[in-house]
Each structure stands twice: as C-alpha cells, then as structure tokens.
A and B are shown apart, each in its own frame.
Chain A
Amino acid sequence: MPLSLEIVSPEKLLLSRPVDMVVIPASEGDMGVMEGHTPMIVMLRGGTIDLYEGDRIIDRLFVDGGFAEVTQERCTVLANKAIPLAEVNKAEAERRLAEAEAAYEAADKRDVATEDAALDVVQSARAMTEAAG
C-alpha cells in the first residue's frame, strides 16, 4: 500500500499507516488522494476522512477542519481533533451545533473575517452531527 497517511493533532500523532486511497474533506469539495498525486497544500473543512484499502473503506474519522499536505508519496493531515466515526457522540455534536449557531448569531456580521470564522465553526459542527447520524 503505497500512500502513507498521517493524521496529527497538536497533542499527538493520531494515526500513521499506509493506505491505497484517502478521501479528505477539502474546503472546496472532497478530494481523493492516491499515490502520485500532485503536491498540494489544502485547507480542510469539518467532515469525514475515509481510508480505503482496495475498494473497501477500512476506517472513517471525523475531523473538525485543519490542513493537509499532499505529496506524491504521502498525505499529512493536521487537524485539531480527529475521532473515529463510531465514537462521535450525537448528543454532544448537537450541543456543539447549537452553541456554534448561537455564536454565529451573536457574531459581528459587519466584520467579514469574524463572520467567516463563526460560519466555519457552524459548518464543522453540522458535519459532526451528520457524521453521528
């Protein structure tokens, strides 16, 4: 299995293993990465990472946004948080979504950067609820 995938959070190295393909939630749409991909640095939105071995999904993880560095032979995901999909807690996800929406309502809409940041949090929380459901 040629592509080596690494998922790292600031607090530790979460996962490091070879895979055939990985689908990452890039900011402008999901992106499948296989060996020999053109080198890229992409921003991630909140969503799920799918690990493929052949045609089979062997693992799915939820990430709450971050960055990914893709080179011909590896894919490195820098996320603040990555949790196996099975462990995503629906109740907690919904609570976070409610919080994020409240924060968005309260955010200063005149400032584009603040609004965008708040919107990102809402999007990430929504992706988490979807992942849980």
Chain B
Amino acid sequence: MPSLKALRTRINSVKSTQKITSAMKMVAASKLRRAQQQAEAARPYAERMDRMLRALAASVAGSPTAPPLLVGTGADKVHLLIAVTADRGLAGAFNTQVGRATRNLARRLEADGKTVKILAVGRKGRDYLRRELSSRIVGDITYAGKRRIDFGDAQEIGVRIAAMLAAGEIDVATVVYNRFQSVIAQIVTEQQIIPAPPPPAGETLDTSGAIYDFEPDEETILAKLLPQALAIQMYRSLLESAAGEHGARMTAMDNATRNAGDMIKRLSQNYNRARQANITKELIEIISGAEAV
C-alpha cells in the first residue's frame, strides 16, 4: 500500500495532466473549425480548375505532344511518394498511419522492381520515414511554427515535383495523406497525381455540350494550367491533412482527458480507503492503549 503522501502527489500530477489534455482538446477543436473553413473555401477554385482541365485534356487527348504532367513520361519505373503528415505529435495514430501506409506502398513497389523516392512533408512523417527508409528520402518540407498553410506552400511543392518530372527523375507521383472524413475518422488515402488519373468511370465529360475555343492554343494554356492544377491538388491534400490532424488530436485528447478522469477516481478511492484504514488503526491503538491502563 503506497503511503498517503505518495497517493496525494500522484493524484495532483494526474490532475494537472488532465488540465493540459483538456486545454489541448479545446485548442484542437477551434483549430479544426478554422481548418475546415479553409478547406471549404478552397473548394470552388479546385472544382472550376477541374472542369477546365477536363475540357482541355479532352481536346488534346491522344496528341503525341501532350505534356508529361498530364500523361506521365510513358514509363512506370521511378515512383515518387509524397507523404503528408503533421509537424506535431499527440494526435493518436494520425502520423504513424501515413508513415506505415507509405512504407507498405514503398515495399510493394520495390517488390515489383520499381525505384521509390520519398518526399516527406511534415516533421513527424519525416522522422518516421528516416528511421525506416532513409535511403529513399529525396527531400523534406516542414511547416513547424507556421500558423496556417497557404497556397504558396502548396505551389512550392508543386514546382518541386514538376521540376523532378521535367528532369526525368520520376515517372509517377502519388500523395499519401490523411483524408478528413469526420472528427473521429481520418482515412489514409493514396492518390496518384502524375499522370493525372482518368475521370471516375461512368462519369461522362460534362461541358454541357460546349466546344471551347482556346486563346492562345490548348497546349500553351495546358502548360500553364497543369502546374497550377498540381499545386491545387497538393493544397487540397495539405488542407485535408491539417483538418484531419486537428480532428485526430481532438479525439486523442478527449480520450486522454477521460482516462485521466478515470484514473483520478481510482486513485482518490485508494486514497480514501488508505486514510480510513489509517484512522481505524489509530483508533484501535488508542482504545487498546486505554484498556491496558
């Protein structure tokens, strides 16, 4: 039986932990709201970009000069995996999930005889992948200390990927990130971005029958539009991941707060029992002392 003093210290320490976790939960909740708004606000641009891109892609389809950002290099040898994680931990399995999915994907590709390169976005993922696959990492980007992600950040990544593609260093690029589904569910998603995936089956090209004119020509526009579309895709993944991170942290901290509560309850019960036992013991001592006189 631990002493009363030890129990008291224990209870106090759990109480202060609980205070911290519940504060972190509140912070995560408010950040989550902001991240969701940001993701919401980015949607119109992405949708319209997508519409334009499809119209353009349809009109250059089959052309031998179609740009590699759209159709890839024609090879399937070197895969770039972009692992998007958070810069901070204490968010449950959020970061490890992406790390593990990236590792499994890398193993699978290598088993098929492909070369894998990894671009780690976010400090936690970088650290994880460094332990596991350090030789494949070709670069990392972290946003530690940054309050919010803006489009410029995504553009930077896009430029980097496009440069690697242009230099013939990669053939296929895939983003691995946590898609925000709800506060309690983040789904690890592997999304191929180069070559651009074909539109989902069964969906016909909806340009309301319009045949577009292009000014200047399709290929000049495409050359400008594709890097932008790539940046948008990265921006979306970054925002989804940011929202997911806060959601995951909120859930993790909620659980931690609840566990701390349970623990405090158990410890206080032990403490009270011990105190009562002590009092009983002292009473017995006094009574038997008095009887002996």
Binary contact readout A67-96 vs B (1 if CB under 8 angstroms, 0 otherwise): 101011000101010000000000000000
B-chain residues with CB within 8 Å of residue A28 when the two chains form the complex: 215-216
A-B contact list, 6 entries, CB within 8 Å: A13-B41, A27-B216, A43-B221, A69-B51, A69-B55, A69-B212
A-chain residues with CB within 8 Å of residue B221 when the two chains form the complex: 41-43, 67
| B65 CB within 8 Å of chain A | no
Stretch at the interface among A4-12, A48-56, A101-109, A123-131: A4-12
Which residue from chain B places its CB closest to the CB of A69 in the assembled complex? B52
CA distance A43 to B213 in the complex (A): 12
Shortest Cβ distance from residue A48 to the other chain B in the assembled complex, whole angstroms: 18
| B224 CB within 8 Å of chain A | yes
Binary contact readout B33-45 vs A (1 if CB under 8 angstroms, 0 otherwise): 0000010011011
Q: Do A10 and B235 contact each other (CB < 8 Å), given the known contacts A67-B224, A69-B52?
A: yes
A-chain residues with CB within 8 Å of residue B225 when the two chains form the complex: 67
B-chain residues with CB within 8 Å of residue A72 when the two chains form the complex: 210
Contact, CB under 8 Å: A43 / B48: no
Shortest Cβ distance from residue B39 to the other chain A in the assembled complex, whole angstroms: 11
Which residue from chain A places its CB closest to the CB of B51 in the assembled complex? A69
Contact, CB under 8 Å: A11 / B151: yes
CA distance A34 to B18 in the complex (A): 62
Chain B interface helix/strand/loop/mixed = helix
Shortest Cβ distance from residue A67 to the other chain B in the assembled complex, whole angstroms: 6
| B9 CB within 8 Å of chain A | no
Shortest Cβ distance from residue B38 to the other chain A in the assembled complex, whole angstroms: 8
Contact, CB under 8 Å: A39 / B211: yes
Contact, CB under 8 Å: B48 / A41: no
The number of residues on chain B lying at the interface, defined by a beta carbon within 8 Å of a beta carbon of chain A, is 32
Contact, CB under 8 Å: B49 / A27: no
The number of residues on chain A lying at the interface, defined by a beta carbon within 8 Å of a beta carbon of chain B, is 23
Contact, CB under 8 Å: A78 / B210: no
CA distance A6 to B212 in the complex (A): 18
Which residue from chain A places its CB closest to the CB of B208 in the assembled complex? A71
| B3 CB within 8 Å of chain A | no
- Give the one of B56, B150, B221 with max A CB within 10 A: B221
Contact of B45 among A10, A26, A40, A43 (CB under 8 A): A10
CA distance A28 to B220 in the complex (A): 12
Binary contact readout B55-67 vs A (1 if CB under 8 angstroms, 0 otherwise): 1100000000000
A-chain residues with CB within 8 Å of residue B224 when the two chains form the complex: 43, 67
Shortest Cβ distance from residue A40 to the other chain B in the assembled complex, whole angstroms: 5
Contact, CB under 8 Å: B208 / A43: no
| B232 CB within 8 Å of chain A | yes
B-chain residues with CB within 8 Å of residue A12 when the two chains form the complex: 41-42, 44
A-chain residues with CB within 8 Å of residue B150 when the two chains form the complex: 11
Which residue from chain A places its CB closest to the CB of B47 in the assembled complex? A8
Contact, CB under 8 Å: A26 / B52: no
Which residue from chain B places its CB closest to the CB of A80 in the assembled complex? B151
Shortest Cβ distance from residue B213 to the other chain A in the assembled complex, whole angstroms: 5
